[in-house]
A = this chain, B = another copy of it.
Amino acid sequence: MSAIPRSLLQLINDLTQLPSIGEKSATRLAYHMVTQNSDSAKTLAQSIIKACNEVTLCSDCFALSESKQCSICSNTARDRKIICAVEKPIDLFAIEKLSEYKGLYHVLHGVWSPLKGIGRAELRIDQLLKRALDINCCEIIIATSVTVDGDATALYISKLLAEHGIKTSRLAQGMPKGGELEYADELTLSRAFSGRRPIIA
């Protein structure tokens, strides 16, 4: 017979299903919830249910939204001539935090991977193409991750859009801020070289 109450064991087990929460972290979190402040734990539970029920995908860009059209797609002040395609909704939040990009978005919800069955339909590429043609888009920035899959996705989409005369671009690749040459990996360094820019233009 375990010394841990059954409902607490269940809570620990459910918490370990979350990413990067192991058994020790789950135990500490569960213990905190039931002993320190069970009111705030119940508020958290209600927030989980509310967010799961209310958050859906924007019908235009497939970002997370509480309404049919997200706050960016429905914002008339945004530049409707440029679309930034990202892998995940969380990537969109990272770009929005910069407050620099003022265009629209398109969330792919994955990267092109025929072996895993993720292709044109799953990445909603036809919707991207249709939207780009509809709004007479000038440029699509493909901001997928700098990985083999991310690069392949960018290339695949670029070729497809080029057939329809739509211009695509990719985020600059090179040394990150604070990057020391000594520790840079070969790919980063190679791309930093090939993408070098004149200091005095």
Contacts from A to B (Cβ < 8 Å): 1-8, 10-11, 14-15, 17-21, 25, 27-35, 38, 40-52, 54-55, 63-66, 70-72, 75, 88-90, 92-93, 96
Known: A28-B19, A44-B17. A10 touches B50 (CB 8 A): yes
User: In the docked arrangement, what's the CA distance between A75 and B45, Å?
Assistant: 33
Known: A19-B28, A45-B45, A71-B2. A51 touches B34 (CB 8 A): yes
Residue numbers in B under 8 Å from A93 (CB-CB): 3-4, 27
On whether the beta carbons of A7 and B66 are closer than 8 Å, the reply is: yes
- Least Cβ–Cβ distance between A54 and chain B, in angstroms: 5
**Sampled A-B contacts (25; CB under 8 Å):** A1-B71, A2-B71, A3-B63, A3-B93, A4-B64, A7-B51, A7-B54, A11-B47, A14-B40, A17-B40, A18-B33, A18-B44, A19-B29, A20-B25, A28-B90, A31-B88, A33-B48, A33-B52, A34-B52, A35-B89, A38-B52, A41-B48, A41-B52, A42-B49, A45-B49
Residue numbers in B under 8 Å from A48 (CB-CB): 11, 33, 41-42, 44-45, 48
Partner of A71, one of B3, B49, B64: B3
Closest 3 CB pairs of A and B: A38-B52, A45-B48, A45-B45
Known: A18-B32, A32-B19, A45-B45. A51 touches B8 (CB 8 A): yes
**Which residue, of A48, A72, A88, has the highest number of chain B Cβ atoms within 10 A?**
A48
- Least Cβ–Cβ distance between A11 and chain B, in angstroms: 4
- Least Cβ–Cβ distance between A145 and chain B, in angstroms: 15
On whether the beta carbons of B44 and A7 are closer than 8 Å, the reply is: no
- Least Cβ–Cβ distance between A98 and chain B, in angstroms: 11
Known: A3-B92, A27-B93. A51 touches B64 (CB 8 A): no
On whether the beta carbons of B7 and A72 are closer than 8 Å, the reply is: no
User: In the docked arrangement, what's the CA distance between A41 and B50, Å?
Assistant: 11
